Structure 1
Amino acid sequence: MSPNSEPLKLPGLKTAPWDPRFPNQNQTKYCFQSYLDFHRCEKIKGEGHNVCQYFKDVFQDMCPNEWVQKWDDQRSAGTFAGKI
């Protein structure tokens, strides 16, 4: 990088913040809890509510897409193990 150039800035990119409830490197529980929190929030506040967007951003950042798709399929089928 030359002295006159500035670091590359990518707009809108951010990661899930640190959560003291999940201090370990294994973030599986953080992923699952954020997924539950999002759907609980939408159940209480209504679908598409602004307040719930935080939890959606976190689980989309933390969770593998395959897990989210599996959980969505399970919720649709009525076989999801989590309490929403």
Structure 2
Amino acid sequence: MADMVDEKIKNYRTAPFDARFPNTNQTRNCFQNYLDFHRCNKALSAKGQDVSPCQWYQRVYKSLCPMGWVSKWDEQIESGSFPGRI
């Protein structure tokens, strides 16, 4: 399983189609992948497992989200004022 994930991450070019977000506006897709990345890291770290599968979400949100948003969200997480549930 980890080999398949590593292979997909290696061959990653841009965010694939996600049926949950069929419209042109990808703002929700960006935010959801950001949340999924942090949730995945939190869940796997709590279990003491390898967090490398979470890199998929990170690559997707980095290709979709403006870096200004990401830096703002990172600052909000650090300060404890982030609006999403992680």
Question: With structure 2 as the length reference, what TM-score do the two structures score?
Answer: 0.80
Structure 2: gaps (5+ residues): 1-10
More helix by share: 2
TM-superposed deviation, 1:35: 0.1
User: Could you say which structure has the larger radius of gyration?
Assistant: 1
Aligned residue in 1 for 2:78:
76
TM-superposed deviation, 1:50: 1.0
Distance 1:41 1:65, change over 3 A: same
TM-superposed deviation, 1:61: 0.5
TM-superposed deviation, 1:49: 1.0
Higher relative contact order (CA 8 A, sep 6+): 2
Matches within 5 A, 1:6-45: 14-45=13-44
Q: Work out the number of aligned pairs and report it.
A: 74
Question: With structure 1 as the length reference, what TM-score do the two structures score?
Answer: 0.82
Q: In the alignment, residue 36 of structure 1 is paired with which amino acid?
A: L
Root-mean-square deviation (CA, aligned residues, Å) is 1.9
Percent same amino acid among aligned pairs? 51
